[in-house]
Amino acid sequence: MSGPIVIGSERSEAGLPAAMEILARGGSALDAVEAGLRRCEDNVDDHYVGTGGLPNAQGVVELDASLMIGSTRAFGAVGAVKGFPNPISIARAVLERLPQHSLLVGAGAELFAEENGFERAELLTDESKKLFHSALAPSIESVEGERTGAQKGDALYRRTALELVNHFAPHDGPWGTINILALDSSGELVVGVSTSGYPWKYPGRVGDSALPGTGNYADVRHGGAACTGRGELSMRAVGARAIVADLARGLEPTEACLAMLADAATLPDEFRAELRCLALTPDGRHGAAAGQPGSVYAVMTETSTQPEFRPRSVL
């Protein structure tokens, strides 16, 4: 084993130092992933997670998050949560305090959050409200991605999203899902995901980030994986689980990530947009892949003074 390590998707650098601080002092991967993602959720300049996330077609921010523990494959998640800024912590509470269930959504997840003492907050910031009103115009950037180039599916999604926005009459008034994967000094492996999901989505839409095997998966025997981008494609390809299955068959992390993207690329999808993934093994090997050049992921070890960025391999 290589020692504690944490990796993350684009913009996870807002949280990785907090995660590594916990790992470096012998803390758990679960604590590290939660702490790292909370920092990302609290970053109001990031409009795809937590406070300041872009809203649904009604102008309401809905959040998804999940955690999976590699040694037990225990899973906790919430979906379509409104009014609570740190869904990753609510997901952990589901995992630990409600073991008879793995996923809570909507009003039930919000009731559970209230019962467990989580504080409500306004998630729609002035900046995200402005983006809500302005960002549906034609653009060369993807809808759900780290400023990657738009594809035909992005343009179609914008047109249909604008129809939803007009239908629901919304109130007046850095980008993409975040993954963090951590390996601690005891050998535990944990994967976490947090997102506000596709902007301008149909209310109640839950993406791959809240679903085991799609947005994330962890099995300490073989490794962990997580996905960002076009969640509906990851759900259909069972993306994260497919990557871990290939790790179990002996593929290197980058090879397993590329294999999943190649499989997802065969699926018909008129809303096709960028899909990315990354993986971490129990001995500290890691890799990532994307469909377009220019995408990176971040890495920290015990000797890191700050997150180090590595290029993702391109399908």
User: How many CA atoms does the CB half-sphere of 249 hold within 13 Å?
Assistant: 10
296-301/308-311 β-pairing: antiparallel
Rounded-to-integer distance, Cα 282 and Cα 264, Å: 25
Rounded-to-integer distance, Cα 241 and Cα 245, Å: 6
Other beta carbons within 10 angstroms of residue 251's beta carbon come to 18
The predicted-structure confidence for 81-110, as pLDDT tens digits, reads as follows 999 999 999 999 999 999 999 999 999 999
- Looking at residue 58, its pLDDT comes to 85
Rounded-to-integer distance, Cα 136 and Cα 53, Å: 15
Rounded-to-integer distance, Cα 242 and Cα 269, Å: 19
Report how far apart, in Å, the C-alpha atoms of 8 and of each of 250, 267, 274 are: 22, 26, 17
Catalytic residues: 177
- Looking at residue 200, its pLDDT comes to 84
User: How many CA atoms does the CB half-sphere of 100 hold within 13 Å?
Assistant: 0
Rounded-to-integer distance, Cα 37 and Cα 14, Å: 8
- Looking at residue 242, its pLDDT comes to 98
H helix or E strand, kind and range, residue 240: helix 239-248
| pLDDT (tens place) for every residue of the chain, 315 residues total | 578 999 999 999 999 999 999 999 999 999 999 999 999 999 988 888 998 888 888 889 999 999 999 999 999 999 999 999 999 999 999 999 999 999 999 999 999 999 999 999 988 888 877 766 665 566 666 655 555 666 777 777 777 766 765 555 444 434 579 999 999 999 999 999 999 998 889 999 999 999 999 999 999 999 999 999 999 999 999 999 999 999 999 999 999 999 999 999 999 999 888 899 999 999 999 999 999 898 999 999 999 999 999 999 999
Q: Is residue 287 helix, strand or coil?
A: strand
Other beta carbons within 10 angstroms of residue 61's beta carbon come to 26
H helix or E strand, kind and range, residue 311: strand 308-311
